[in-house]
Amino acid sequence: MNILIINGPNLNLLGTRETEIYGNSTYKVLVQYIKKYAKVHKVSVKIYQSNHEGKIIDYIQKHQKKYQAIIINPGAFTHYSYAIRDCLSAYSLKKIEVHLSNIYEREDFRKVSVIKDVVDMSVLGKGFDSYIEAIDLLLKGEIK
């Protein structure tokens, strides 16, 4: 299985940003963690991070044909990016939204996800393991 993993704004700040919420591990460690797990499970992953909405959309549009699924952590775009929502909606790939923290247990503005209605499932609040659970759901065929 080929999975495209997209990370939105400020994920590149992992390890320094609000460590009480996101922990001390860096984005580089996250990428290595995902790639190691994917390799063991014979999954091909392409991981991309951008702080720019248009770049994320361009990347999905350019690469979506090569992948069977998208795992996306839209970061703050979760709460207001109808452009990313529409981009995801345009494709019939399997799609899972992930978040390191549980957005529904945080500030009120984070409790709104404009993405959730165009993805097959959301995995929240499990730190780096949110990505691993998403990969497992795809591998087990639990996302139809």
CB 58 within 8 A of CB 89: no
Q: Is 79 annotated as a binding residue?
A: yes
CB 51 within 8 A of CB 77: no
Of 126, 142, 128, 55, which is closest to residue 94 (Cα–Cα)? Answer: 142
Catalytic residue numbers? 22, 99
Nearby residues of 30 by Cβ (< 8 Å), 6 or more positions away? 11, 14, 128, 131
Q: Is 110 annotated as a binding residue?
A: yes
What would the DSSP string read from start to end of 84-117?
A: HHHHHHT--SEEEEEESS-GGGS-GGGG--SSGG
Q: Is 30 annotated as a binding residue?
A: no
Q: Is 2 annotated as a binding residue?
A: no
Between CA 57 and CA 139 the distance in angstroms is 25
Residues in the annotated binding site: 73, 79, 86, 100-101, 110
Residue positions forming the annotated binding site for substrate: 73, 79, 86, 100-101, 110
